[in-house]
């Protein structure tokens, strides 16, 4: 089981993701290779949505001239995505806003 702070690469086992050179690179970068369950449309949908959002909002907006630059930025991107970026599944609220609102609603039920 990977450490909580270890980067994991989730994919659908497509040919581009099982290429041997990519596997070697992932290992040298200390990235755990993970694949979604077979025949799981919900997992694939979530994975594709996250990948699309992540590329659009972070990767394409950055100057990434080598793998080390990407690795240095990923943790910040993930933290920003999980904390400050609005999510459609949270009614366009950030996770922080959603958690705060949920806490306030739960407290008001007492």
Residue 24 lies in a domain: no
**Who wins on pLDDT, 45 or 92?**
92
Q: How far apart are CA 95 and CA 87, in angstroms?
A: 7
Residue 91 lies in a domain: yes
Instruction: Judge whether 15 lies within some domain.
Output: no
Q: How confident is the model at residue 42, as a pLDDT?
A: 66
pLDDT at 80: 84
Q: Is residue 81 in a domain? A: yes
In a domain, 23, yes or no: no
Report the pLDDT averaged over residues 64-93: 83
Average pLDDT over residues 99-108: 77
* Cβ-proximal residues to 109 (8 Å cutoff; 6+ apart), any chain: none
pLDDT, one tens digit per residue, over 5-61 is: 678 877 777 777 778 888 888 888 888 888 776 666 666 677 777 778 888 888 888
108, exposed or middle or buried, with CB in 10 Å at 0-12, 13-18, 19+?
exposed
Task: Please indicate whether residue 96 or residue 4 has the higher confidence score (pLDDT).
Answer: 96
Let me know if residue 8 belongs to a domain.
no
The mean pLDDT of 71-82, rounded to a whole number, is 83
Total of domains in the chain? 1
Domain residue limits at 53: 36-108
Report in angstroms the alpha-carbon separations of 21 from 10, 18, 32, 71, 100.
Answer: 17, 9, 15, 17, 44
Q: Supply the pTM of this predicted model.
A: 0.51
DSSP letters for 13-73: --TTTS-HHHHHHHHHTT-EEEEPPTT-HHHHHHHHHHHHHHIIIIITTS---SHHHHHHH
Give the pLDDT score at 110: 44
Note whether residue 90 is domain-resident: yes
């Amino acid at each position: 089981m990977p450490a909580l702070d270890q980067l994991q690469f989730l994919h659908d086992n497509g040919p581009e993701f099982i290429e041997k050179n990519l596997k070697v690179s992932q290992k040298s970068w200390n990235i755990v290779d993970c694949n979604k369950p077979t025949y799981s449309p919900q997992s694939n949908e979530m994975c594709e949505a996250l990948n699309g959002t992540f590329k659009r909002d972070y990767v394409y907006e950055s100057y990434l001239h080598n793998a080390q630059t990407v690795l240095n930025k990923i943790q910040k991107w993930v933290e920003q995505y999980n904390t400050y970026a609005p999510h459609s599944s949270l009614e366009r609220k950030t996770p922080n806003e959603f958690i705060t609102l949920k806490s306030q609603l739960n407290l008001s039920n007492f």
